Structure 1
Amino acid sequence: MRIAMIGTGYVGLVSGACFSEFGVEVVCVDKDESKIERLLRGEIPIYEPGLDKLVTSNAEAGRLSFTTDLKEAVKGADAVFIAVGTPTRRGGGHADLSYVYAAAREIAEAMDGYTVVVTKSTVPVGTGREVERVIRETRPDAEFDVVSNPEFLREGSAINDFMRPDRVVIGAETDRAREVMRTLYRPLFLIETPILFTSLETSELTKYAANTFLAAKITFINEMADLCEKVGADVHDVAKGIGLDGRIGKKFLHPGPGYGGSCFPKDTLALVQTARDSGAPLRIIETVVDINAKRKRQMADRIVEFCGGSMQGKTVAILGLTFKPNTDDMRDSPSLDIVPALIDAGATVRAYDPEGMDEAKKHLDGVVYCSGAYEAMDGADALVILTEWNEFRSLNLTRVKSLLKEPAMVDLRNIYDPKQMADQGFRYQCVGRPLRKAD
């Protein structure tokens, strides 16, 4: 079986590499010549654990290739996946679908037989129908079906999520299209992965419903953490107490500075706009969006207050800049709001991130970038943990104390235990847990 993957961003590259691991012949296409040249040299443009080895092994086996020639890639393909970006449009929350429709037109011009055109990009309800219309308008004689197959990949564990998913959702409305998709996903049938076949609209909405529900869950536990601080409760115990309820589940109940990344921020906005346009506004998700935006600024204010109410002449060490560990993705990371707010308040910011420094430099000016965690905290007035990378979980606290002007830490990911920090003599602040004063 042969497929073309249009777009070598996060979704396209991971999906293409994983399909090739299944034994499918995959051609990944991108207009960015420099990106394709890097991939042909074996260089991976994104950080995702294990992806470099997966790409290299399948390229060497001849199952995975890269090109800028869309026409040649689509020619003879059983299925063509659209995996291009759908960023938030300027001036509103709608998803920008221009790249999707442009890809659809090019695919239409290149098809030379029956082809299943699959939208892998996250797209609003109705996009599949419009893709179908675009292709039909461009090539009235084309023989094709449009399918929706949303991705549910978590950055940092995307390969495992693809190979052993909770489920696969496929919006396909002809037997022929369903059979092509069944053949593609046959390896997952063998491990009894639930495969849900639906209509196009249902599949498209399922992706948004999943992401916005998780965003709401994160927002809920963040607000609960604020209440815990007021009443003296421990949000971790509250999370465990409700998470053990099978109807709720324990995942996404960890408090922090707010959600970020490539999916939750833009998908919540896009669903809010779709709902408003459809005359069925989603008040819960509108509130989630508002609360999350405000929370990041509140975290900056919390750091300022912790530092005595003024940042003038203060130096802050920031550990972690990406929106989550095991990725170099800076999109909508809390650091993009928190760090500039601290600099605007007069602080000098020294920062370190294991994988996100190059990306961070494109977005954050005025930061002193350091080569390691301990270098960042050398001479700082306070240490702030923004991203819970593993290497930050077991810092040498004796060394940390010796480097900081005073033993002061704001832990926005609750990596450390308040009692341990008090016993070590730290002035310590976390999220939603009772604190002990240092002796």
Structure 2
Amino acid sequence: MKITVFGIGYVGLVQAAVLSDAGHDVCCVDVNERRIEDLKKGIIPIYEPGLTPLVVENYEAGRIVFTTSAEEGVNFGDIQFIAVGTPPDEDGSADLKYVLSVADAIATHMQSPKIVLDKSTVPVGTADKVAAAMARRLAERDAEIDFAVVSNPEFLKEGAAVNDCMSPDRIIVGIRPGDDAEKIEATMRELYAPFNRNHDRMIFMDARSAELTKYAANCMLATKISFMNEMANIAERVGADIEHVRHGIGSDSRIGYQFIYPGCGYGGSCFPKDVQALIRTTDGIQFNSEILKAVESVNYRQKGKLFEYINHYFKGDISGKTFAVWGLSFKPKTDDMREASSRTLMEALWQAGARVQAYDPEAMEECQRIYGDRDGLSLMGTKEAALKGADALVICTEWQSFRAPQFDAIKQQLRSPVIFDGRNLFEPERLAAKGIDYYAIGRGLSVQSVL
């Protein structure tokens, strides 16, 4: 099949690469000229395991092409993916200007029938808005060309996006009332056939339900995280170890172990934005979404936990001290620092007059892009280098390379033998035996010091 993808960011590029690898012909369209030129040279703008060889191999084979021409893209594919960003507006609602701009471009240039798949995360009712925008433009052209707008949300995890795309848990297809459901279903089954072989993963529904499904999924996962962080805060105050609690409740098959790891808050491009966007949607329909607002409130507070521990340990005397920070990305296997807990921590430390020596396996360039050569920040070449001369170690991201460090070397390098662990990587008893003070989320010395 011939497919066009508008928006070659995280979702669009992964989707395009995987579709082309399955044998489809894919045209990638983006307004960022430098990005398109880099992609033609094999320079991939994001870090995602397995993505670079997939893009390069299929580009060299001619199965994927890159362009800045909307007209070229529209005329290339019978199926048009919209995978542009929906950044939060000033009030937190999803900004649809890029989505509607692509819809207008498709309707402006299309000469034959199209199926438009909305891959972007969008509020309920967006498929109808896209269809209305296209209909207006076609009417202005006095052109009668059939089209359908389908909600086809993505469910990719950063760090595992390629695998998630190749082996999806489910493929949601939302069809608008009045569109040719039989034709759309047949086309979607053909499109996704390479990823739907073992068992039928495709779930068909109306477009508005599909749009809400995407938000509901991310908000459910965010809710589990905030719930466990709330339990960790309770554990600190009642003298319990949240890791024991996690094992106790995770063994219940109705709860499970996924997304019940307490920590220093969730971040990234999806959970914060999507929770906020759904809250704005509910506000717009005069419904008070108490759970979602609590999820957001708990996460906002949780991002300040590491600084609270540090301030408590040093009795408010932080100015002039240096802190080694391991982990800058919001999660492992990505260089994404959007809404990362590390940013909240570092900015609080700088505000208090402290310095940061930071290391991350992948996010160093992103950190440099965000903060530049600012005073108080040194980006170190290794995790060991970040320790030299530091007063304490703080862990913000659970990279695999952080899980088995040399504790004796850490203690020797630090001015104060203390670790503040926002991801609960270590056992408190082991660090206590090493003579290292260990503050974690809902365990270790955090339990003994009610904050």
Fold match by TM threshold 0.5? yes
Farther off after superposition, 162-171 or 3-12: 162-171
| Paired position in structure 2 for 1:237 | 244
Question: 1:210 & 1:102 partners in 2: Cα distance?
Answer: 27
**Distance apart, 1:3 and its partner CA:** 0.4
**Distance apart, 1:435 and its partner CA:** 4.4
Aligned amino acid, residue 387 of structure 1: T
Aligned amino acid, residue 298 of structure 1: K
Question: 2:264 & 2:446 partners in 1: Cα distance?
Answer: 21
SS of the residue 1:139 aligns to: helix
| Paired position in structure 2 for 1:327 | 334
Aligned length: 436
Cα distance change on mapping 1:195 and 1:53 into 2, 3 Å: same
Question: 1:410 & 1:242 partners in 2: Cα distance?
Answer: 25
Contact 2:24/2:63 (<8 A) preserved: yes
**Distance apart, 1:417 and its partner CA:** 1.0
| Paired position in structure 1 for 2:225 | 218
Question: 2:272 & 2:64 partners in 1: Cα distance?
Answer: 32
| Paired position in structure 2 for 1:88 | 88
Answer yes or no: is 1:24 the counterpart of 2:27. Answer: no
| Paired position in structure 1 for 2:419 | 409
Q: Give the one of 399, 408, 432 matched to 2:409.
A: 399
| Paired position in structure 2 for 1:9 | 9
| Paired position in structure 1 for 2:355 | 348
Question: 2:227 & 2:213 partners in 1: Cα distance?
Answer: 21
Q: How far does the alpha carbon of each residue in 1:168-198 deviate from its partner, in whole angstroms, 9 at most, with x for none?
A: 1110242222221111111122121421101
Structure 2: which 5+ runs fail to align?
A: none
Answer yes or no: is 1:273 the counterpart of 2:300. Answer: no
SS of the residue 1:336 aligns to: helix
Question: 2:409 & 2:145 partners in 1: Cα distance?
Answer: 67
Q: How far does the alpha carbon of each residue in 1:29-57 deviate from its partner, in whole angstroms, 9 at most, with x for none?
A: 10100000000000100000110011111
Contact 1:36/1:66 (<8 A) preserved: yes
SS of the residue 1:261 aligns to: coil
Matches within 5 A, 1:3-402: 3-90=3-90, 92-140=91-139, 141-173=144-176, 174-364=181-371, 365-366=374-375, 367-402=377-412
Answer yes or no: is 1:425 the counterpart of 2:435. Answer: yes
Question: 2:92 & 2:369 partners in 1: Cα distance?
Answer: 23
Contact 1:17/1:58 (<8 A) preserved: yes
Contact 2:438/2:444 (<8 A) preserved: no
Structure 1: which 5+ runs fail to align?
A: none
Cα distance change on mapping 1:193 and 1:419 into 2, 3 Å: farther
Contact 1:76/1:112 (<8 A) preserved: no
Over the matched positions of the two proteins, sequence identity in percent amounts to: 46
TM-score w.r.t. length of structure 2:
0.94
SS of the residue 2:443 aligns to: coil
TM-score w.r.t. length of structure 1:
0.97
**Distance apart, 1:12 and its partner CA:** 0.3
Q: How far does the alpha carbon of each residue in 1:378-421 deviate from its partner, in whole angstroms, 9 at most, with x for none?
A: 01110000011111111121221221113211111111111111
Question: 1:250 & 1:435 partners in 2: Cα distance?
Answer: 24
Aligned amino acid, residue 295 of structure 2: V
Farther off after superposition, 424-433 or 27-36: 424-433
Question: 1:74 & 1:178 partners in 2: Cα distance?
Answer: 22
Cα distance change on mapping 1:436 and 1:347 into 2, 3 Å: closer
SS of the residue 1:327 aligns to: coil
